[in-house]
């Protein structure tokens, strides 16, 4: 494993440790009727859409709308001359199964060109089978590709406390899916943010406003190959 991989794994292990120490647990997924994006800035159906599809990290848990990463991403795109509309389809506490259950609605929005898929962390925290998570994510990716929607897959890491077999299977699931389905891949959304007290909220898990700005840069860097003007 290269130095970067070791660094990312260490960051995520510390993130999981923070979860245990703070006693914070994922929020239950709302009923289907309540599963709405945090915000949808400047909705205009004729503009090409980028769907930010994920859990609390995407939804902007503990933040105001202008501090959430989808909103910040919208501003960066505009500043760089990209005419995309970013839709926040994040739901706090969502698992890969929850994402799959709402995938048709999320991906069915008119003129969607790109989906940023950030799901799987809550599967890990609940100890769900990796095979199930992988299958759910694969189905979402396939549905997106069937609609000619480009995909940016965000990966996660697992701690050794889950067992070496689980850890290996979980960590490999994301890059394997990206390779198999030829989609863009971001290894760790919270690179440069996780475990840094000054960049996180009191729970030690969710980025604060400054941390979210760094997270947005991570996403933007991986997203750029998919963008067109």
Whether 96 is a known active-site residue: answer: no
Whether 132 is a known active-site residue: answer: no
Tokens 């926040």 belong to: 88
Annotated catalytic residue, options 55, 92, 96, 206 = 206
Whether 123 is a known active-site residue: answer: no
Annotated catalytic residue, options 135, 176, 181, 203 = 203
Q: How many CA atoms lie within 13 A of 65 on its CB side?
A: 11
CA–CA separation, 131 and 44 (whole Å): 38
Annotated catalytic residue, options 55, 56, 68, 92 = 56
CA–CA separation, 96 and 100 (whole Å): 6
Segment 196-203 long-range contacts (CB within 8 Å, at least 24 positions apart): 201/61, 201/62, 202/22, 203/18, 203/22, 203/24, 203/62
What is the set of active-site residues? 56, 203, 206
């Amino acid at each position: 494993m290269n130095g970067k991989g070791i660094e990312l794994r260490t960051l995520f292990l510390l993130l999981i440790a923070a979860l245990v120490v703070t006693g914070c647990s994922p929020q239950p997924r709302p009923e289907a009727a309540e599963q709405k994006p945090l915000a949808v800035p400047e909705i205009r159906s004729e503009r090409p859409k980028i769907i930010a599809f994920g859990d609390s990290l995407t939804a902007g848990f503990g933040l105001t709308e202008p501090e959430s990463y989808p909103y910040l991403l919208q501003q960066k795109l505009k500043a760089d001359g990209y005419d995309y509309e970013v839709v926040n389809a994040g739901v706090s506490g969502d698992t890969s199964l929850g994402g799959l259950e709402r995938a048709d609605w999320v991906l069915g929005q008119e003129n969607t060109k790109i989906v940023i898929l950030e799901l799987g962390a809550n599967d890990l925290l609940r100890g769900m089978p990796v095979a199930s998570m992988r299958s759910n994510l694969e189905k979402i990716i396939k549905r997106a590709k069937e609609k000619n929607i480009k995909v940016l897959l965000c990966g996660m890491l697992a701690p050794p406390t889950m067992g070496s077999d689980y850890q290996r299977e979980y960590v490999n699931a994301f890059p394997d899916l990206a390779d198999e389905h030829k989609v863009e891949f971001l290894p760790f959304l919270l690179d440069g943010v996780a475990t840094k007290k000054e960049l996180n909220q009191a729970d030690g898990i969710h980025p604060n406003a400054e941390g979210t700005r760094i997270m947005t840069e991570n996403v933007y860097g991986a997203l750029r190959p998919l963008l067109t003007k």
